Amino acid sequence: MTSVSEQEPPTARAGAEEIWELRLYVAGQTPKSVTAFKNLKLLCEEHLAGRYRIEVVDLLVNPRLAREDQILAIPTLVRKLPDPIRRIIGDLSDTERTLVGLQLRPRRP
């Protein structure tokens, strides 16, 4: 869907066919966790349709899993692929901030 263009952020080295691996850390189904998942899903469908995978990690079930990605606050989204790892904290309701964080959009000047 997204063709390589001038707007393509230089750091987003993913090709059109590269699969994005995203991991969402939640604490059970707290409202922010649910909202984050919903926002992520909508965002992916709009910008990464057909080339993303979302893994939901419930830290209430196993808090130790937080160590791998040094999670502090919940919800937190981690971009595992493409490199480099990026973290976005919060329920992803600020779409602009999320897109910038995921390097799907360049930081505003």
Question: Contact positions toward other proteins, by CB under 8 A?
Answer: 26-34, 37-38, 41-42, 54, 56, 58-61, 63-64, 66-67, 71-75, 87-94, 97, 101
Residue 98 to residue 70: CA distance in whole angstroms: 19
Q: Please, which residue, 14 or 74, has the CB nearer to other proteins?
A: 74
What b/e readout covers 22-56, taking b as 16+ CB neighbours within 10 angstroms?
A: bbbbbbeeeebbeebbebbeebbeebbeebbeeee
3-state DSSP call for residue 47?
Answer: helix
Q: Please, which residue, 6 or 80, has the CB nearer to other proteins?
A: 80
CB of 15 to other proteins, least distance (A): 23
Tokens 């930081």, residue located: 107
CB of 109 to other proteins, least distance (A): 16
Q: Please, which residue, 5 or 32, has the CB nearer to other proteins?
A: 32
